[in-house]
Amino acid sequence: MTPTIRTERLVMQAPFLHENMDVAHHLRWLTNKHIMQYSENRHLTHSTASQYEYLCSFDQENDYFWEVVRCGIPIGSISAHLDIPNRTANLGVMIGDDSHHGHAYGLEAWHGVCEWLFSQDTRKIEAGCMACNKPMIKLLEKCGFDHEATIPGHFLFNGKPMDKVCYGKTQKAKIIPIPARSRRRESVLGSAGDAA
């Protein structure tokens, strides 16, 4: 089951899936060219059926989808794709209702989901975006993510090559005291959750 995550102003919750569910708000976001300008979803055609199929594709074990809800109204979404053997997760966020831009809701939702993932023994969280997506880069940097790589010309943006920038945040390693014969010392063993 996808957990419900609460922050000061938001609730991140899985949508209630059923065949006749209302996905009109998702379609409004996905067809808004300004909202989707940096998203790979801009290449797709979206419909009620395709959005329902997309929502059903999250298995709630290897990947999760939350609606970002403010005062009972969905204003965006956030998703996590987990690599369980390596204990990593890849996140993506969208505040789809542009009347809610400029209030740091994306930052708050991101913080909330990252805290939950780390509490579930996730070792590292990763994200990537276009180098020109300044709002996303600002969010990642505010959340303490480090720039790890640049992939030149990965995207085509308005017909021109655009770099992909990759960011990551690793859970702080535990400092575990290890007794030594002559003295005590402290060593760092792996990342949080590692036994050795």
Report the CATH number that the domain containing residue 70 is assigned in CATH: 3.40.630.30
168 with 145: CB under 8 angstroms? yes
Q: How many domains does the chain have?
A: 1
31: confidence class by pLDDT, cuts 50, 70, 90: very high
Residue 196 counted as domain residue: no
% of the chain beyond a pLDDT of 90: 84
Residue range of the domain that includes 133: 5-188
5-24 pLDDT, tens digit per residue, is: 999 999 999 999 998 899 99
For residues 167-172, average pLDDT: 94
Residue 160 lies in a domain: yes
**Model pLDDT, residue 161:** 98
Per-residue pLDDT tens digits for 90-108: 999 999 988 999 999 999 9
Residue 195 lies in a domain: no
Distance CA 172, CA 58 (A): 28
- Span 78-94, pLDDT tens digits: 999 999 999 999 999 99
Confidence of residue 175 (pLDDT cuts 50, 70, 90): low
Asked whether residue 193 is domain-assigned, the answer is no
Given the structure tokens 């996303």, which residue do they identify? Answer: 136
In this prediction, residue 19 carries a pLDDT of 86
Signed CA dihedral, 33, 36, 37, 42: sign only: negative
Tell whether the model's pLDDT for residue 74 goes beyond 70.
Answer: yes
